[in-house]
Amino acid sequence: MAFISNPEFSEETCFCFSGRDIFLKKSGELLKFNDLIYFNKLDKNSDFFEEKAFGICAVSVSEGIEFSQEYVKIPMRQFFADNGEELIVKSSRSRAILNWRREMRFCPSCGKPLVESEKFSARECPVCHKIYFPRIEPCVIVLVRNGEKILLARHAQRNQDIYACIAGFIESGETAEQAVKREVKEEIGIEIQNVVYKGSQSWPFPDQLMLAFTAEYKSGDIVLQKEEISDAGWFSKEECPETPLPGSVAYRLIHDEF
């Protein structure tokens, strides 16, 4: 599963990203290989790779570049909402790897420029011969129930006026279930119980693996961690505020699609 940095021809699924956006044809169709060549030449800072084993070929370009009216740029979250699991998985992997490639250019041990591995989807140091694979950051996300109501929160760092589940990174030494309880206690101030694993999703913003859970309210009152949460409350399905779009693990939790 080695990277091919300068493919000459590809029949794989093709993607081009700019920040948190993805390019499509103006008709709404996916890009073809020749479109990737166009974007690769358009931006001298672009990155271009192919992974035949996963059936993907992708380019990243700088934000704010001017491009032909033949293309449109939409948020990846909207792309997830409009497409099925196969395209979500392929686009998530493509963007996550491009994010990693942008940051992993030099060997953390000796500082030398890394080169593409000939055997793996990885980068290798030509001096100390250490191999570095794309990283994954494990996170938890949980929907807490209290009778017929669910706990939803507005995250302070988001620029969208939506309410979602409590989520956070797993810390060193923790189990995923311990992280669920800690995050809810830290951000909302309540105790929970009966933590149940429901599923997972790659979330390439930039490199998370979201582990989804449900849990039940146990005790305590809502006390917000203001630097993380701007508002939170218990909502019935009839009074549910605006939530994340379909295609996200948060949507599936909130709308009982697991």
Distance of alpha carbon 190 from its chain centroid, rounded?
A: 27
Q: What's the pLDDT at 6?
A: 53
pLDDT at 104 over 80: yes
- Reported as a single tens digit per residue, the pLDDT across 66-75 is 999 999 999 9
- Reported as a single tens digit per residue, the pLDDT across 45-55 is 999 999 988 99
Mean pLDDT for the stretch of residues 30-59: 94
Q: What's the pLDDT at 161?
A: 84
Banded model confidence at residue 158, pLDDT cuts 50, 70, 90: confident
Mean residue pLDDT across the chain: 93
Rounded Cα gap, residues 183 and 159, in angstroms: 21
Mean pLDDT for the stretch of residues 167-187: 97
Q: What's the pLDDT at 109?
A: 95
Banded model confidence at residue 257, pLDDT cuts 50, 70, 90: confident
Banded model confidence at residue 12, pLDDT cuts 50, 70, 90: confident
Banded model confidence at residue 237, pLDDT cuts 50, 70, 90: confident
Rg over CA atoms, the chain: 21
Mean pLDDT for the stretch of residues 203-220: 96
Q: What's the pLDDT at 53?
A: 87
pTM reported for the whole predicted model: 0.89
- The side-by-side arrangement of strands in the sheet containing 115-116 is 115-116, 123-124, 131-132
Environment class of 88 (CB within 10 Å of its CB; exposed 0-12, middle 13-18, buried 19+): buried
pLDDT at 3 over 70: no
Strand 208-219 and strand 191-203: the pairing is antiparallel
pLDDT at 210 over 70: yes
DSSP 39-85: HHHH-TT-EEEEEGGGTEEEEE--TT----TTEEEEEHHHHHHHS-H
Mean pLDDT for the stretch of residues 171-200: 98
